[in-house]
Structure 1
Amino acid sequence: MGGGRRGSDHLPQELANEADTSSDSDPYSSDFFPSVCYSNLGPEPADDESLRRRSKTYSEVLKSYVTPRRMRPRALRVAKHIICCHCRPCAWIEEVGGTKARDYDIPETMTLLLVGPRGSGKSTLVNRITRVFQDDQFAPDRAQVSHNVSVTEGSCFLQEYMIPRDSKKLCVYDTRSLSTFSSDNFKLLQDWMMHGVTHRQMVIRDSDDVITTNRIKDMAREGFGPCQKRMVNFVIFVVDGISVLKSIDSMDTRYNDMLAETFNYPFLSFRDNKPVVVVTHGDELSLFERAHIRTYLGELLGIPPLTQIFDIPGTNERDTEVAVVDMLHYSIEHAYRNLPFKHNFVIEAERILTRLADKLESFHSIVELVMIFLWFYLLLLLGMKCLVKW
């Protein structure tokens, strides 16, 4: 199972070497992945160079599925420990532009928001992440999974899950599925990204009918509790691989167009950093179809499929573990890169004084123009008076 980038990229050098030089037997040799001329991926490429680039990307994605099998248990344990102990900000924050780690507003709990269409597998992803960090593949589900999405609305409340369960450093938020109405999605996403998220918060869309709205309120049975509101630090965009493939094969682009429109919604990005993408339900697809989907999504969303799109189908315990760890490392790393600065009252005062001076300067220029106009007006009146007397 491919975990996005190579499984050893985020490890310390000695562990990366250990992972890459593992002598564990590979069930797949390099001959298993032939060089493929991949031309049936979405719209026809504009030229031969685009086709070659697409074929190369597909081949690299296909070969990346072998790499996690080479990671030794010790390297994986260290990678999980790095995620669990990310309480050392200096190890994650890049001190650039003269800034220090102390200049950033570091949250007590790093918050990752799960976003995705109906049936994309957000709740299932929560359960898989939990099992990885509990080291128990048979651990009971924490998040309620919808068995038949055609007869249920899925999650109607925001749900917070600490990772690991007894930690206070990292949490993921399960959310209500994206709507078929873009306006509904954008309003909710903007509210979550700008004002934060709260455990057990009801999620009611503008397009919900009276029956649906009342049903959600009845399920709540109570108002807001003492739960803390958390600001979102990064977004995990979850998509159903089967739906993506069906949209490609049927030429009905509505599902994939909705993915692209929502993914590129400005409020989901942190400056130039777009969300990480997780592809689910790969256990029902072949390896070649999964590589197909990641390559296609890379082109559709404008992100590198090897480093920002993670395939977590849950078909193999070790592969799932590697993919989950790599995806969370990517998310936390980019969350730290985009932390807001602390409120520095001295700097704020300087900015206010500068703005005030600029306004006074512009006001002074306006006064000068008015004075010049008045002088010309008086001279004109005096001239007219002289002409009258003459």
Structure 2
Amino acid sequence: MKTQLSSSEEDEYESSRLVYCWWRTGAEFDNFMRMKLDLLSVSTLSPRFRLFRELERLAVIAPDGLNEIRHKLLAYRSGDFWVPTGGISKESMDIPPVGTILLVGFSGSGKSSLVNLMYSVLGRTGLVPFAQTSSGNSSNSTTVFMEEHNVVRSTRNGFCVYDSRGFDYGKVTEFLEEISGWMNDGVHHNQLCLRPGDDLEQIKDKVENLNLRSSSKFVQRRVNSAMVVANVAEIYKALKAGDLKPLEATKQLFSSPALRKSNENPILILTHGDLLSVEERMDGRLKICEHLGVSETNGVYDTVCLTEYGFLAEESDPVTAYAASEALYRALLVSDRGHFPKRSYIDWPILVLSWLLCLIAAFFALLADVFSKLGQKKKLK
């Protein structure tokens, strides 16, 4: 027999649903007709309505789709999402045994909180205790070392997530140089990230407390995909105060050539460190996407890493849980479709020959330019 809820219980249930479906309290949501618009008219919708539609898509999929995507991530092996092209077999591709996803962003953007959220959503295996990042115990602590995380806590898993140290908004150039080094040279667990002005004594204490081994004993990981993490609340509040520095710095990071090597448009994670109203969340996301030149519905995810009570948003917020999982899934798709063929012994002679031909072509081009100038001088005489 189905129990009837009292009016107060129904109001409480509805309010609990609105915690993670926050956009449904917006003034324009009723005009949106709750996804009853014709699919053919999507291209004519305004950016705000398209965003409503995307948020509703996540809300519809999240309750039943979360377990499915969890299973896909748990069963994932590096290279599973590679698509055969040009007649090249999977065995001929240079696929690493473990795919590496790098989280980048400015200080306080929520990278470590996002990793903790991933552990909470994906890493539940019986009585295994909840794992946190080394900087997750204090809101004021800073990630000094690169941290490798297997967020599904499975030895058979084929991917890991790296938490990196953020920069200040006023030091974008230094940040881009360091990111370029990570993308080109790779990363390894407990890789020390020193910055000008760091307290060396405090860092020395952290090294001793962590009992770090020699860095040579850690496996160097090639970065296969990157996620840009931005604090939408911080950026939006700065915009309201007339400060464009956080938004411009985020654009420089998102558009950096180093990140574009792994994906033309890196995945963008917008975290909410502070409570914002519905209109502020919507306006903040739309302004950031417009300034970065990306679609507001493709590859952009909102995650509330911490609830208003300071707890991790897990099953109480299935939309956030699913959004974080889908972002990981998308990153692995990007990773597997960006692998290159293995180099064979024939490639090196071909490379040498191509360089030799380029040198010969440059030599003859130089000769042509010299004789052309000599010919012009004779005509003038």
Q: TM-score, normalised by structure 1?
A: 0.73
Larger Rg: 1
> Matched residues in 1 for 2:130 and 2:368: separation?
76
Structure 1 residues 235-274: aligned runs within 5 Å: 235-270=226-261, 273-274=264-265
Cα deviation per residue 1:87-107 (whole Å; 9 max; x = unaligned)? 163x41122234332232111
> Matched residues in 1 for 2:126 and 2:272: separation?
17
CA contact (8 A) 1:93 1:336 kept: yes
> Matched residues in 1 for 2:240 and 2:68: separation?
41
User: Which residue is 1:185 aligned to?
Assistant: 175
User: Which residue is 1:50 aligned to?
Assistant: none
1:324 is matched by which residue type in structure 2? Answer: A
CA contact (8 A) 2:228 2:267 kept: yes
* Aligned match for 1:220, one of 195, 202, 207: 207
Sort the Cα spacing of 1:247 and 1:356 in 2 relative to 1 into closer, same or farther, 3 A. Answer: same
> How many residues matched?
324
The alignment-based identity, stated in percent, is 23
**What secondary structure does 2:246 align onto?**
helix
**What secondary structure does 1:341 align onto?**
coil
Offset at residue 111 of structure 1 (A): 0.6
Sort the Cα spacing of 1:137 and 1:120 in 2 relative to 1 into closer, same or farther, 3 A. Answer: farther
CA contact (8 A) 2:224 2:262 kept: no
1:342 is matched by which residue type in structure 2? Answer: K
2:299 is matched by which residue type in structure 1? Answer: Q
Sort the Cα spacing of 1:225 and 1:69 in 2 relative to 1 into closer, same or farther, 3 A. Answer: same
User: Which residue is 2:225 aligned to?
Assistant: 234
CA contact (8 A) 2:78 2:99 kept: no
User: Which residue is 2:108 aligned to?
Assistant: 119
Cα deviation per residue 1:94-153 (whole Å; 9 max; x = unaligned)? 22234332232111111111111111111111111011113489963411226444xx5x
User: Which residue is 1:320 aligned to?
Assistant: 320
Structure 1 residues 99-114: aligned runs within 5 Å: 99-114=88-103
**What secondary structure does 1:113 align onto?**
strand
1:301 is matched by which residue type in structure 2? Answer: L
- Unaligned 5+ segments in structure 2 are 1-16, 33-42, 306-312, 371-381
User: Which residue is 1:308 aligned to?
Assistant: 299
**What secondary structure does 1:197 align onto?**
coil
* Aligned match for 1:169, one of 158, 173, 181: 158
Cα deviation per residue 1:333-390 (whole Å; 9 max; x = unaligned)? 11112123311221332232243345457668989999xxxxxxxxxxxxxxxxxxxx
CA contact (8 A) 1:115 1:178 kept: no
Q: TM-score, normalised by structure 2?
A: 0.74
Sort the Cα spacing of 1:357 and 1:129 in 2 relative to 1 into closer, same or farther, 3 A. Answer: same
> Matched residues in 2 for 1:181 and 1:365: separation?
43
**What secondary structure does 2:226 align onto?**
strand
**What secondary structure does 1:277 align onto?**
strand
> Matched residues in 2 for 1:136 and 1:166: separation?
9
Structure 1 residues 15-54: aligned runs within 5 Å: 33-35=29-31
> Matched residues in 2 for 1:317 and 1:137: separation?
21
Offset at residue 285 of structure 1 (A): 2.1
* Aligned match for 1:289, one of 280, 289, 304: 280
Offset at residue 156 of structure 1 (A): 0.6
Residue 298 (1) aligns with residue 285 (2): no
CA contact (8 A) 1:202 1:220 kept: no
Offset at residue 64 of structure 1 (A): 2.7
1:183 is matched by which residue type in structure 2? Answer: T
> Alignment RMSD, CA only?
3.4
**What secondary structure does 1:176 align onto?**
coil
